[in-house]
Copies of this chain bind each other. A is one copy, B any other.
Amino acid sequence: MDSPTAKTSTTQTVTEIRQWLGDRLSTAPAVREQHGKDQTWNPGAAPDAVAFVKSTEEVQRIVATCAKHRTPIIPYGTGTSLEGHFSAPFGGISIDLSQMNRVLEVNAADLDCRVEAGVTRKQLNTHLRDQGLFFPVDPGADASLGGMTATRASGTNAVRYGTMRENVLNVTAVMANGEIIRTGSRARKSSAGYDLTRLLVGSEGTLGVITEVALKLYGIPESIVSAVCPFPSVEACCTATITAIQMGLPVARIELVDAEHVKAFNAYSKLDLVVTPTLFLEFHGTEASAREQAETFAAIAEDLGGGPYSMATKEEDRQKLWQARHDAFWATKSLMPGKDSFATDVCVPISRLAECVTETQADLAANGLYGPIVGHVGDGNFHVVLYCDRNDAQEYAKVKAVYARMIDRAIAMGGTSTGEHGIGSGKRDYLAKEHGPALSFMRAVKRALDPDNIMNPGKNVAI
């Protein structure tokens, strides 16, 4: 696909699209570069051109042209994905959906909405606030909802509200042959046909370009109580979490913050927390039930040597706490100026989480590496930000080895190579290890829906 012939036809593709898209098709080096390289140490590769689209029909027209010339298509939202999802190793057209940013409908009675793919999660929540509604999925970045759908994104609320997998009702997508499909109705459940919605959620642009998304919404809870609870160990944090979930406590957020992160939060976000493994929590409900939940958790924590337990109900205090959590990446980065950083995640059954985290910490320590950990502990999902100097070949090799062992460890514990960051370009080598013979059926689906391999080639299951 990267042959001179292909390059010639890409030139033809660019010429044909420019005829009608005009200056919304850019070949400026800076624009191309920005659309080919993410914030991670994935090397990246620039597309041949970037198309700034305004409608599903424009996407369709571009895809039809690309299909004719077998030119690669790479969808782009806010550029905040973390595994080289939007790099263009085979060149092609980056379709930037950020100008498709209209909230198309909000159906308050049905608790659903329909948005264009470029609407970001914060934009949607600002739009919804007056109606007493919210959308819960919250990855660290203010990502686009199309991108969050394509990468099966998640966040701190997933333990109660689910991930994009559970919260997308249907999508509109332009498929590799240029056809526009809608993958389902607005019904909350359906047994009619194959679940194309879930097939596209997490497909990372390799099966189609998602242009609209219908989402589930939730009423803003009457009462929200946030809490912070230090613990003597990561194990104690995990045991408290397991106990809470087993007894059916409907905790909305339960986040593990390791001692390294606590240090970083104190410095970066001006907090004043005890430097020890800590849980950040949030409880949603009526005033009585949210308080009851918070108090129940306090009792669980006390039994495990946790505390002092502090609760916050004021919006301002809560916001400060969760903004610190969302800024985790930048907080640790500020402690390591000049170092390259490498954010990654795995997810294991919750019973193995303490073991997986502590073994990973021990491995980091044994190799003299800095790798602070935060975790969506209610889901068994945790993140490590690995720091190193990429020009130091020895340090770089150590980081890569710790990284590989962490993924192997997670898979061996019945877990997955990534809970929410995705495969992109970065984790493709682990798919066979994780899925075994199932991978060949994923690839059969890819070949069936995109026989010429033009949709984000080289990513996820694609060869």
Residues of chain B contacted by A286 (CB below 8 angstroms):
292, 296
A347 surroundings in chain B (CB, below 8 A)? 187-190
In A206-234, the 8 Å CB interface with B consists of: 218-219, 221-222
Name the residue in A107, A190, A194, A434 with the highest tally of chain B Cβ atoms < 10 Å from its Cβ.
A194
| Contact (Cβ within 8 A) B181 A108 | no
Return chain B residues, CB-CB under 8 Å to A218: 248
Contact (Cβ within 8 A) B288 A188: no
The contact string, 1 if C-beta is below 8 Å from chain B, for chain A 273-301, is: 00000000000111011001000100000
Contacts of A348 in B (CB 8 A): 187
Closest-CB distance, A102 to chain B (whole angstroms): 19
Instruction: Say whether B350 contacts A110, CB under 8 Å.
Output: yes
Enumerate chain B residues within 8 angstroms of A440, measured Cβ to Cβ.
179
Q: Which of B182, B201, B219, B438 contacts A246 (CB 8 A)?
A: B219
Instruction: Name the B residues within 8 Å of A296 (CB-CB).
Output: 286
Cα(A182)–Cα(B416), bound, Å: 13
Instruction: Kindly specify which of A91-99, A157-165, A257-265, A383-391 makes contact with the partner chain.
Output: A157-165
A193 with B439: in contact, given A186-B415, A349-B112 (CB under 8 Å)? yes
Q: Given A110-B350, A111-B245, A199-B199, are A189 and B158 neighbors across the interface (CB < 8 Å)?
A: yes
Q: Is the CB of B246 within 8 A of A435?
A: no
Partner of A438 from the list B110, B183, B198, B417 (CB cut-off 8 Å) is B183
Interface centre among A193, A442, A447 (most CB of B within 10 A): A193
A430: chain B residues at CB < 8 Å are: 192
In the complex, what residues of B have CB within 8 A of residue A184's CB? 416, 435
Minimal Cβ-Cβ distance residue in B for A186: B414
Interface residues on A, range: 35 or more
Chain B residue at smallest Cβ distance from A206: B194
Q: Is A336 an interface residue (CB 8 A)?
A: no
Residues from chain B with Cβ under 8 Å of A411 in the complex: 185
Given the complex, which residues of B lie within 8 Å of A126, measured CB to CB? none
User: B189 and A163: CB pair below 8 A?
Assistant: yes
Interface residues of A in 340-378 (CB under 8 A from B): 347-351
Binds B, one of A43-51, A115-123, A421-429: A421-429
* Residue A202, interface by CB 8 Å: yes
Q: List 12 A-B contacts (CB under 8 A).
A: A110-B350, A151-B191, A166-B166, A180-B437, A181-B435, A181-B436, A187-B416, A192-B430, A192-B431, A194-B460, A286-B292, A447-B448
